[in-house]
Amino acid sequence: MSDVLGADSVQDRLERLKELTEFTENCQKRINEVFRTLGWTPDHRGAAQDEMQSCPFNPDHRVPLRSLERHKASCRLRQMGYSSEEQAEMCEPSVCYENTSVRSFTMEKDVQHQVILQARSAAPLMRMEGVFWQGQYSSQPVDVPQSHKRAVCDLTVADRLALYDHVIDAISQQRDAAAATAGSNEDLYVDLVAKLKKDEQQNEPKSHLELMAEMRDYKRRRQSYRAKNVHITKKTYTEVIREVIEVHSGELARQWRDEERQEEEEEEEEEEEEARRAARSSHRRRSAERRSASSESQRSHGRRRRRSRERSSDRESRKKKKERSRESRSPDDRHRERKKKKKKKKDEEKEK
């Protein structure tokens, strides 16, 4: 009986072992298919686990080696007090100047502090007009600003001017050094024959026109020639602009006065014409009234007086109204109205 039970248990174990073996083989096949799809090899599983490194700015940070540089830049800005929003607004300017001849300069914290101290020592002790004095410079070292907002907050105007001058000098030195190096290398590619011919042409006597041109250029370079416009060069920008505005204002005022004078002359001519017409009509009326009866002449005389008074009052009201309208109108409106009057007068003359 015991032999039968032992044989059954062995048989079950063998079957279990066979099932596990088949399951393991199936899993291995699936893993191999996944590796084949991703283009990996079985030994890639160990290399996929990147080595973890500790952040130099915060030892508690452990990041993979492949992303260590990016984390260091972000962590350094965070240690300097820049928020995530400020970091998102920042951009790396060196990307814009790749494959170009634009030169760059990287400012370090100690260099920045040294430049500010040198400018502070060269500045006057007391406050003076037109220059920065020592009290306007920073005395404590600050981090190099990474944004315009931080530069305005951390550095004074005098500090920013000193740093600007230092950067300009450094870039000029780099450019001069590069030009000197390029000039030394250009001698290897010089066409000596062409250079000798050019020297021979320069050694020839100059013509009269060339001598006159050199004399003209020499006179232009003299100090007396450059100083002829000293009444303009020594004026400030505000004074020059003020003079320009005064000239234009005077010209506009003169033009407006001429237009008003012309309008007044035209109005006087119109009034004289109306007065002549009224005189002719009154003369005709008087001759007709003389022939009429005395009573009618008296009544007509009263009516004439009333009519003349009304006409004079109407003329004065029209004149005041014209003056008010002329004061309220712009020069362009007056010019257009004057053209209309001229045109109307020409049409009346043609009809006569």
Q: Which amino acid is at 200?
A: E
User: Looking at residues 300-327, what average pLDDT do you find?
Assistant: 72
Asked, for residue 58, whether it belongs to a domain, the answer is no
Query: Per mean pLDDT, which of 149-153, 174-178, 249-253, 274-278 is the most reliable?
Result: 249-253
Q: Maximum distance among all alpha carbons in the chain?
A: 178
For residue 7, what pLDDT band results from cuts at 50, 70 and 90? low
Q: Which residues constitute the domain of residue 155?
A: 106-181
- pLDDT of 24: 92
Q: What is the mean pLDDT of residues 99-113?
A: 81
| CA contacts within 13 A on the Cβ side of 279 | 6
Confirm whether 122 is domain-assigned. yes
Higher pLDDT, 253 or 95: 253
| pLDDT on residue 1 | 47
Question: Would you state the pLDDT for residue 337?
Answer: 76
Is 147 inside any structural domain?
Answer: yes
What pLDDT sits at residue 283?
Answer: 72
Are 314 and 321 in contact by the 8 Å Cβ rule? The answer is no
Whether residue 137 has pLDDT greater than 90:
no
145 within domain boundaries? yes
Token code pair at residue 200: 């021979």
Would 239 be classed as within a structural domain? no
Instruction: Average the pLDDT over 200-223 and give the result.
Output: 72
Across the chain, what does the average pLDDT equal? 77
CA nearest neighbour of 271 among 214, 310, 304, 319: 319
Q: Which of 116, 123, 162 is nearest to 139 (CA)?
A: 116
Q: Where are the alpha helices (DSSP H) in 39-95?
A: 44-47, 68-79, 84-89
Element housing 6 (H / E)? helix 2-38
3-state secondary structure of 201: helix
Count: domains in the chain: 1
Q: What is the pTM of this model?
A: 0.38
Among 257, 255, 277, smallest CA distance to 265 is for 257
Q: Is residue 55 part of a domain?
A: no
Q: Give the separation between CA 68 and CA 65, rounded to whole angstroms.
A: 5
Measured N-to-C along each axis, helices 237-291 and 331-351 cross at an angle, to the nearest 10 degrees, of 30
pLDDT, residue 47, reads 46
pLDDT computed for residue 326 by the predictor: 62
The answer as to whether 319 is a domain residue is: no
Q: Is residue 22 part of a domain?
A: no
What share of the chain has pLDDT > 90, as a percent?
3
Q: What mean pLDDT is predicted for residues 272-285?
A: 80
Residue-wise pLDDT for 61-97, tens only, equals: 888 888 888 888 888 888 888 887 887 777 777 667 7
- More confident call, 216 vs 1: 216
Q: In this predicted model, which residue has the larger pLDDT, 224 or 37? A: 37
Reported confidence tier of residue 11, pLDDT bands at 50, 70, 90: confident
